């Protein structure tokens, strides 16, 4: 098949998935409203958590001043981590969740009887989630900036850097997402696995606290995780005003992509092998 025709067909399939997921989302739009309310409570939780930071000092005035500065800094740290995690969560768990929905709705076998390839499905099944999550992330960032006066730097010059960080992180973490989806197909245990792996990621990558406070062995694991570098670059851009010309941001992006390029073929191989096993065992529709 000519490349031009192949790309045209693949684009049509991807657009079809996005349209389908949008129609499903529109049918349950109340979930979006409720999700925003939940997000407000989550941001308030992070805000008051940051206010819990205390510093012991002999001077009450010094104590109050240092406490305020530290709380504001920590809230900015929490808010940036919380705004990047939704994208990471989609890459890590989005494909497995999409398979679960196909299972429960009884459409997984008819779907894979069509010419849709595993690669196309893996990418297309989470694209709408990325679009939808962008609304959530914008809400978190703007609420932090306008309501809580967090000194975030979002300019026209910083947007390309932010996009590159998000895309590189999403591609890298997709390797783990493919493995989780493959295990879902074979063992039907994605929910407990997602729970454990989700907390593992939040623990070692620096979403809620700096990795410097972790034990040495955990810091070593952290250095091998792409989300650690993505968070570093993301915070440098939003909190320090760094751009793509910044050396630290460049190296963080390179590290993120390098880990992803190593793990992505392995993740796809695991996903494909698990899919073939589930189809051979006639267990695709089981959940």
- pLDDT digits 0-9 by tens, 171-190: 999 998 898 888 888 877 65
Question: How far is the CA of 32 from the CAs of 36, 47, 103, 139, 212, in angstroms?
Answer: 6, 22, 23, 12, 36
Q: Looking at residues 198-208, what average pLDDT do you find?
A: 86
Average pLDDT across the chain, whole number: 83
Q: Looking at residues 207-234, what average pLDDT do you find?
A: 90
Q: Looking at residues 111-137, what average pLDDT do you find?
A: 87
What pLDDT does 100 receive?
A: 84
What pLDDT does 53 receive?
A: 65
The pTM of the full predicted model, rounded to 2 decimals, is: 0.86
CA distance 265 to 269: 6
Distance of CA 59 to the CA centre of its chain: 43
CA distance 2 to 19: 26
């Amino acid at each position: 098949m000519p490349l031009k025709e192949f790309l045209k067909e693949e684009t049509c399939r991807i657009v079809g998935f996005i349209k389908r997921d949008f129609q499903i989302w529109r049918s349950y739009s109340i979930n979006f409203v409720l999700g925003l309310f939940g997000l407000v409570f989550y941001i308030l939780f992070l805000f008051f958590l940051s206010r819990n930071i205390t510093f012991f000092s002999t001077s009450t005035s010094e104590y109050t001043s240092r406490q305020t500065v530290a709380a504001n800094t920590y809230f900015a740290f929490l808010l940036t981590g919380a705004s990047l995690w939704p994208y990471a969560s989609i890459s890590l768990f989005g494909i497995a969740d999409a398979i679960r929905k196909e299972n429960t709705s009884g459409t997984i076998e008819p779907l894979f009887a069509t010419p849709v390839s595993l690669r196309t499905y893996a990418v297309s099944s989470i694209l709408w989630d990325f679009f939808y999550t962008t609304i959530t992330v914008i809400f978190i960032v703007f609420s932090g900036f306008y309501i809580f006066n967090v000194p975030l730097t979002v300019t026209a010059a910083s947007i390309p850097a932010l996009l590159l960080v998000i895309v590189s992180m999403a591609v890298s973490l997709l390797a783990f997402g493919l493995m989780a989806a493959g295990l879902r197909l074979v063992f039907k245990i994605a929910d407990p696995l997602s729970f454990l792996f989700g907390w593992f990621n939040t623990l070692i990558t620096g979403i809620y606290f700096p990795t410097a406070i972790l034990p040495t062995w955990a810091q070593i694991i952290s250095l091998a995780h792409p989300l650690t570098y993505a968070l570093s670059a993301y915070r440098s851009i939003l909190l320090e005003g760094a751009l793509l010309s910044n050396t630290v941001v460049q190296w963080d992006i390179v590290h993120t992509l390098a880990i992803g390029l190593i793990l992505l073929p392995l993740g796809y191989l695991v996903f494909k092998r698990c899919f073939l096993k589930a189809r051979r065992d006639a267990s695709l529709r089981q959940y």
